[in-house]
Structure 1
Amino acid sequence: MLQDTEELHRKLAELTQEHRELDEMIAASLQESNTDQLKVSRLKKRKLLLKDMISRLNSQLIPDLNA
């Protein structure tokens, strides 16, 4: 069980880092004068997916209070 928890924390850290990087990429893209809206849209969708994955992992790490 401890190994599973460590794996979840590792994965959570990876996803959080990727989420931050996407945020920076989106901000940089929006600063450009010839912004590729399709690219920004795809980055935002990926960022939203990562947010959902991070939320799921966080909920798995919180102990079940009804147990």
Structure 2
Amino acid sequence: MNIEAHLATLEKKHGALEEELHSALTRPSVEDEYIATIKRRKLRLKDEISKIRSTTH
């Protein structure tokens, strides 16, 4: 997989996590740990995307 395709995949996953987080925040029964897990996964993806972009530019 080339770098552009990999970045696109990571960005798509990040967007999906954003939607999942938004959905979780609108449901009062969602546990804080679940929300924290989504945020951590989003942050890891964001860091990976930033790292790849900084090494390719």
With normalisation by structure 2, the TM-score equals 0.92
The count of aligned residue pairs is 57
The superposition leaves residues 5-37 of structure 1 with CA deviations (integer Å, 9 ceiling, x where unpaired) of x71111100000000000000000000021221
- Corresponding position of 1:56: 51
- Corresponding position of 2:30: 35
Q: Which structure has the greater CA radius of gyration? A: 1
Structure 1 segments (4+ residues) deviating >4 Å: none
With normalisation by structure 1, the TM-score equals 0.79
For structure 2, the residue ranges without an aligned partner over 5 or more in a row are none
- Corresponding position of 2:16: 21
RMSD: 1.1
TM superposition shift of 1:60: 1.8
Distance 2:2 2:51 in 1: 14
For structure 1, the residue ranges without an aligned partner over 5 or more in a row are 1-5, 63-67
TM superposition shift of 1:61: 1.7
